[in-house]
Amino acid sequence: MEFRPGDALLVVDMQNDFCPGGALGVPEGDRIIPELNELMARAARLNIPIFVTRDWHPQNHVSFRDRGGIWPVHCVRETRGAAFHPDLKVPAGAAVISKATHPDKESYSAFGDTDLAERLRALKVRRLWVGGLALDYCVKESALDGQKLGFEIHVLRNLARAVNVKPGDDRLAVVEMSRAGVVIEP
């Protein structure tokens, strides 16, 4: 892939709780960190805007099992689990987007209840490259929402991993994104 003017990079939810050993660890989620680091460094050198998302849940978030959700408690703001993985090298100047911050509203998308779309438009971004965790939830929903909002979305399949609650969820996510017009990069 080659960055060009009008591009931005979106790195989704590379947090301790989503990596192996975390409360909601994605299998091999940490294995994509070195390549994401290289990609962020290249984007920074080229002055390509970089956005890094994080689940930033309140303690009583609706997605948690004790509130009727499907997930264990994870990524509670200001905890070690919510912190970015220590090997992730977020460049200075990268924008952090906190999502799923309202206790009574589930939101997987980087565009849900955030100002990401406005920030991208202010920077005249037309094409968004997306990688991170989890392919079948937050990456997928961010890609679909970005596409609906008029951005050209490219998901970096080799730089995303799926939680696969049900076996094959990763394949279904790729099919759904492709049908919506999202470009799936190998």
Active site residue: 17, 19, 55, 99, which one?
99
DSSP-assigned beta bridge partners for residue 184: 155
* Residue 138 designated active-site: yes
* Residue 75 designated active-site: no
Residue where the block lists tokens 């939101």: 107
Active site residue: 17, 75, 136, 138, which one?
138
Residue where the block lists tokens 């965790």: 133
DSSP type of residue 43: H
- Nearest by Cα to 55 from 8, 109, 10: 109
Q: How far apart are CA 56 and CA 113, in angstroms?
A: 12
Other Cβ atoms closer than 10 A to 45: 10
Q: Which tokens in the block code for residue 129?
A: 């490259």
Tell me the one-letter amino acid at 117. Answer: A
Catalytic positions are: 13, 99, 138
